[in-house]
Every structure is written in structure tokens, then in C-alpha cells.
Amino acid sequence: MSENLFTYDLTNRIITDNSFRDYAPENAIKYSLGQIFVNFINYDFSFYDSERKKLDKLLKQIDYIYYRNSNLDESLRSVFPCVQDKYYELSHGDSMGAIVEYLLDIPHIIPYCNSTMFTDYKQFAEHQALDFVFLQNEIKKYVFCLDMDCQPEITSLQKYVSTEDLSFSMHDGILQKEKTIIRHKYSWEEHVNYEIETYANTVPFIPNSEPDSSVLTLGIENNPNWRNTEIEIIHGYVFETPKEALQCEFLKMLELGIKIRKCTVCGKYFIVTGHNGNCCDNLYKDTGLTCQQVFADRNYKNKRKQNPILKEYDKAYKRMYARYSNKKNLASDEYTKWKNEAARERDKALEAYTKNPSEAVINNFKQFLHNK
């Protein structure tokens, strides 16, 4: 079982998940620091939770310890008919392994929640390490520290110290396990390519004969390439539970002063980067617009509704446009003439209304537009 290894680059604000970088270089996945934490807070774990509860219930009935002696396979397949062959394949036909892969694959966008941290089925029980709804609630106390709209008069660090009730004592703190790896910068992918280039088709193909097993024993030892490559040092943290990983990321966010805020449009948290205001830049529902665009659009419409001159203008504009687009009772040149005149009058009225916001200005403009 491979361990996850996460590097936190505070200078560039990047998290690298190094877990599979020996397979192929692109497998070192990079995240913006804070993003995994925020994704975890925003994630809707309700489907995962209903599946987790099914497993917990089943294992309680059988008894966690004696599950190997029971006809567990049958029960698992009937409770989880959705677990397809791919999970049985991943787990080499082990039903429990397949269920674990399946469950932890549900929130797969959060790399801290995966089977490499898995050690014990009891972790799926209520309030245990893989009860993500419970964990999400626990982690939310940290949101208070990072949220710039919660007690903005004090800093994130001040909020943290007060919620954790910390003093000047050196006894408190969070322990983390760091791991250092020193390796040749070479990947399994490169090795496999080397094997193909070097050994493919070197043995003549004889139909109906036993395959030559000596060809299959050519390991990395027989590959001269990897020893000549650069040697790299990787430092990273190893976590036993998703909670440890989230705590670690939180502490880095706290240290760097990374702040978050609840988007006024979609209600999800986002990282404040300085130039964005009240909303995130994720797409909002199926509008095809980002929350920022939806917000700007709403503001624009509200402003127009609040200004009586623009309100009257919009009313007349809609009416004239309907007449013109029906092509029945308004010719194109007439429509253009009206538009230009109306725009001129609108600007005059706007100016007058700003100087003196009176009913008379509105009524004059209404009369000009023939509005009721």
C-alpha cells in the first residue's frame, strides 16, 4: 500500500500530492494551497454518508471482528449492487476492498479522502475517521478563523488562539509526521518505454510454443538509464487520517494569512485573492455565468429598477422594441429615430433628476415617452 505524501510550498502557495510521482511525472498533482480545504468544507457528503451508513450497519450486524467467517460477499453484493466489476478488479476480487475503493472514490476530488489512508473498517463507523459529515462539522470551527466576515476586527491568528484557548505555553501544538524521499528522477513510465524499445520482438515468435519466461525477468536493475538521471529530494507530510491532512493545510493557511469568504450568490466558500469581492468565480447553476457575473448582473438590474428615469425609459424601450420587432406598425428608420431621441432625453432627464430628484422631472420624461 503506498502512502500519500503531500508537500506544502509556502512561497508559491502550492500543495503537491507526490503519491504517484514515480509512475509518471504528471502524476505529481498540484493544488493551490487552501483549495483542498475549501473543497472539503463545500463538499456535499450526503450521498457518501448514506452509502457509508449502509456499510456500517451491515458490519455491525455481522460484527466487525468476525466478518471473515461470515457469508459477507453475498451480503455486500446485495447491499451494494452498484459496486461494479471495476472495483472488484481494483481490489483483486476482495469484496470488502472493493467496497472501500467504491466509497472513497465518491469524494474523489478531495485527495485527502482515499484508500491509501485506510487501515481499519471501523473507520467507517459513526464519528470515526471516515465519517466525513462528522469531520466536516469538526473542521468548520477552523472556518470561523479564516472567514474574513467573522469578527473582522481581529486577525485569523487571534481568532485561532482564542477558540483553541491557547496561551504562551509551549506544551500545546499539533504534531505532524514529515517524510523525506531521495530518489532518481525517473519514472515507471520511462522504464516501461525502455523495456518496450529494448526487448520487444527480440525473441522470435513461434506459434504454439511456451512463452520464454527469461524475457519477463528483465527488471529495472537491467536498465542503465535511471542511474544516470538527476537525484531529487522530496519533503512531505504523511497523514494517517483526512483530519490530520486538513489540519495541516489549515495551519499553513493560517500562517500565510489566506482568507476565505462565503459567496453571496452560491453560498460556497472561496479563497479571497484580493481583487474579487463578494462572490466566487465558479459557474453558477446552469446560467453559463460565474457567480461574479450573476452578481454584477443582479446589481445592474437593481440599480436600473431603483432609478425612476431608467425605469420609465426601459418601459418605453420594451414597448417600442416589441412594435418594431413585429414589423407591423413601426418602420426601421422610425424606430432608429425614436431610439436616438429617447436616449438624448433620457440623459437630460437623468442629469436633471440627479440635481433635483423631483416628481416633476419624472412626469416630464413620462410625458415625452407617452408612458402611462
The stretch near Zn ion (CB under 5 A) out of 58-66, 68-76, 217-225, 283-291 is: 283-291
252-271 positions binding Zn ion, by CB under 5 A = 263, 265-266
Q: Which residues, other chains included, contact 252 with Cβ-Cβ below 8 Å and sequence gap of 6+?
A: 8, 10, 33, 34, 258
Residue type for 324, please? Y
Of these, 291, 320, 349, 361, which contacts Zn ion (CB under 5 A)?
291
73-112 positions binding Zn ion, by CB under 5 A = none
Nearest distance in Å: CB 293, Zn ion:
10
Nearest distance in Å: CB 285, Zn ion:
10
**CB nearer Zn ion, residue 9 or residue 281:** 281
**CB nearer Zn ion, residue 246 or residue 265:** 265
Nearest distance in Å: CB 297, Zn ion:
13
Nearest distance in Å: CB 43, Zn ion:
15
**CB nearer Zn ion, residue 245 or residue 265:** 265
**CB nearer Zn ion, residue 113 or residue 263:** 263
Of these, 280, 294, 309, 361, which contacts Zn ion (CB under 5 A)?
280
**CB nearer Zn ion, residue 252 or residue 261:** 261
Nearest distance in Å: CB 295, Zn ion:
8
Total binding residues for Zn ion by CB under 5 A? 5
Backbone angles phi, psi at 327, to 5 degrees: 55, 25
HEC per residue, the chain = CCCCCEEEECCCCEEEECCCCCCCHHHCEEEECCHHHHHHHHCCCHHHHHHHHHHHHHHHHHCCCCHHHCCHHHHHHHHCCCCCHHHHHHCCCCHHHHHHHHHHHCCCCCCCCCHHHCCCHHHHCCCCCCCHHHHHHHHHHHHHHHECCCCCCCCHHHHHHHHCCCCCCCCCCCCCEEEEEEEECCCHHHHHHHHHHHHCCCCCCCCCCCCCHHHHHCCHHHCCCHHHCCEEEEEEEECCCHHHHHHHHHHHHHHHCCCEEECCCCCCEEECCCCCCCCCCCECCCCCCEHHHHHHHHHHHHHHHHCHHHHHHHHHHHHHHHHHHCCCCCCHHHHHHHHHHHHHHHHHHHHHHHHCCCHHHHHHHHHHHCCC
The stretch near Zn ion (CB under 5 A) out of 37-45, 176-184, 287-295, 324-332 is: 287-295
The stretch near Zn ion (CB under 5 A) out of 84-92, 175-183, 290-298, 313-321 is: 290-298
Nearest distance in Å: CB 281, Zn ion:
8
**CB nearer Zn ion, residue 263 or residue 361:** 263
Beta bridge partners of 31: 15
**CB nearer Zn ion, residue 199 or residue 300:** 300
**CB nearer Zn ion, residue 17 or residue 147:** 147
Nearest distance in Å: CB 266, Zn ion:
3
Cα(286)–Cα(296) distance, rounded to whole angstroms?
17
By CB under 5 A, residue 272 contacts Zn ion: no
Nearest distance in Å: CB 256, Zn ion:
23
**CB nearer Zn ion, residue 265 or residue 369:** 265
Nearest distance in Å: CB 294, Zn ion:
8
Residues of this chain that bind Zn ion (CB under 5 A): 263, 265-266, 280, 291
